[in-house]
Amino acid sequence: MLKLDNISVYYGAIHALKGISVEVKEGEIVTLIGANGAGKSTTLRTISGLLKPRAGQILFEGKNIAGLPAQDIVKMGISQVPEGRRIFANMTVLENLELGAYTRKDSAGIAADLEKVFARFPRLAERRSQIAGTLSGGEQQMLAIGRALMSRPRLLLLDEPSMGLAPLLVKEIFAIIKEINASGTTILLVEQNAHMALSIAHQAYVLETGRITLAGKAADLAQSEAVRKAYLGG
């Protein structure tokens, strides 16, 4: 479904991604793990059109999308849940969700998808008229995921969904990610919590300073001594 082929990205003179190649097959959860500053968020921002690669191709369902405007990439079926949630804090829960569907014109479909989001996240249904900035961190993460789902993505990019959440909420968010995948959405997950990410992913890549150093089945990487030492606390 998605293929990054030898992607290089720069921030000014800084070479952030150094020729990385990643594949995401339809129906899978693929995770990118690595330390802070390894290039994980940069990878997602490049796929979603917020950054332009200086070299390489990004193929989504066979079409090269590298350098396309972000809104066109959303229309093609890729949606991102950004790091730090980035909800619209001064707007209501409902308004945030409606903005997630801004590329769509099918009002009946949008209404149906709103109800699906509220069924998946009952706490958002209870707070639909509440100002989003007053939600708890976990509720804001649910809102950010719900907003991304409103564009009906076939590929969902998740950037650090567990960041800043209590352990119980982390479990809840990961259960929701598995459920979204089971209902037919392919997922590319960037996550500091390597243990949780590897427990739900099919395939995994380890990024270190802009390069992929390991790749394989998530279950195999979870057993790898190098990965355990570096990311799983021994």
pLDDT at 103: 87
pLDDT at 234: 54
pLDDT at 192: 87
Q: What is the pTM of this model?
A: 0.93
pLDDT at 164: 87
pLDDT at 84: 80
Contact (Cβ atoms closer than 8 angstroms) between residue 186 and residue 26: yes
Could you give the 3-state DSSP secondary structure of residue 127? coil
Walking along the chain (234 residues) 10 residues at a time, the average pLDDT comes out as: 97 95 98 93 96 97 95 95 90 96 92 95 95 93 96 96 90 94 97 93 96 96 90 71
pLDDT at 232: 78
Please give the CATH topology (third level) of the domain spanning 2-85+155-231: Rossmann fold (3.40.50)
pLDDT at 74: 95
